[in-house]
Amino acid sequence: MMAPMPEEQIIRMTIAYDGADYMGWQIQPGRRTIQGEIESALAHIAGRRVVVIGASRTDSGVHARGQIASFRWGIDIHPERLPFAINSRLSPDIRVLDCRVAQPDFDARRSCIGKTYAYTMCLSRIQDPLNRRYTAHVPFQLDLSAMADAAQVLQGEIDLSVFSRAEAIGRLGDRGSIRKITFSKWHFSEHTGIFRISADGFLRHSIRCIVGTMIEIGRGRIQTADMLALIQGGCGRAQLRATTMPACGLCLEKVNYNDAAVLGSRE
């Protein structure tokens, strides 16, 4: 007599990846994506397609240390063993770090209450070629104090549409473009600048444009007051000449959830 199939559960997994060679997170026909690679690995294990939902749809070239994803699972493999089974079918630049059983209504994207990203820049005149996949090269003389002050302006509820491409604004839906930023800070060392920002969500390219705007402040081309006026609707982004920084410097560090959203069990 055949053993009964185990009851289907929601699995929450943590993923790290080097996004340099991928067309972002989301599945795209004929293109190599993070979601596509993970779903392919799970399909080999399960014998059928397993739809994976990611907390953040990272863009082409963007990296992650703490991406969270969820999927329905009814195969008799202990969650602690799943990362090894999945990783054996992935390229070394993607790794599932952890799998655990979540609440039945857990959804990695819809249950998310906040995300933290880091943007890393090389400030040397000549970039270390070993770091070029993970840092943006900014060889200009910068006023680091002015950039640190500018980061402090980015607090509370902000309309991020001013830092996002126009074509993305029409697809925002009911939520609109207002996001609540809870943390925004630069950390500078001798040859490196790292900008960390946390919010309840972001718009496409918004972090990369925020960084570009603060670099313009650091170069003395615009003032923090100009960025504040931009946020408050006093002028257009084009007037500030802010650039969208390269994807290679951006990394998803952490995704936050309410404690009740995850069982915390590995069984």
Q: What is the pLDDT of residue 232?
A: 82
Q: What is the pLDDT of residue 265?
A: 46
Q: What is the pLDDT of residues 47-58, one digit of tens each?
A: 999 999 999 999
Q: Which residues are catalytic?
A: 59
**What is the assigned CATH class of domain 9-110?**
alpha beta
Q: What is the pLDDT of residue 243?
A: 84
> Residue 101 has which token pair?
């059983």
Where do the CATH 3.30.70.580 domains begin and end in the chain?
Answer: 9-110
| Beta bridge partner(s), residue 72 | 10
Q: Print pLDDT tens along the chain (267 aa).
A: 334 446 789 999 999 999 999 999 999 999 999 999 999 999 999 999 999 999 999 999 999 999 999 999 988 888 899 999 999 999 999 999 999 999 999 999 999 999 999 999 999 999 999 999 999 999 999 999 999 999 999 999 998 888 886 545 556 655 678 899 999 999 999 899 999 999 999 998 999 999 999 999 999 999 999 888 888 875 555 456 678 999 999 999 999 999 765 555 444
Q: What is the pLDDT of residue 8?
A: 87
DSSP string, 215-232: HHHHTTSS-HHHHHHHHT
SS3 172: coil
> Residue 71 has which token pair?
């999927």
Where do the CATH 3.30.70.660 domains begin and end in the chain?
Answer: 114-253
Q: For helices 144-153 and 224-231, what crossing angle results, to 10°?
A: 20
Q: What is the pLDDT of residue 72?
A: 95
SS3 212: helix
**Does 114-253 carry CATH code 3.40.718.10?**
no
CA separation, residue 64 to residues 52, 104, 118, 179, 255 (Å):
16, 26, 10, 21, 10
Q: What is the pTM of this model?
A: 0.90
Q: What is the pLDDT of residue 241?
A: 63
Q: What is the pLDDT of residue 161?
A: 84
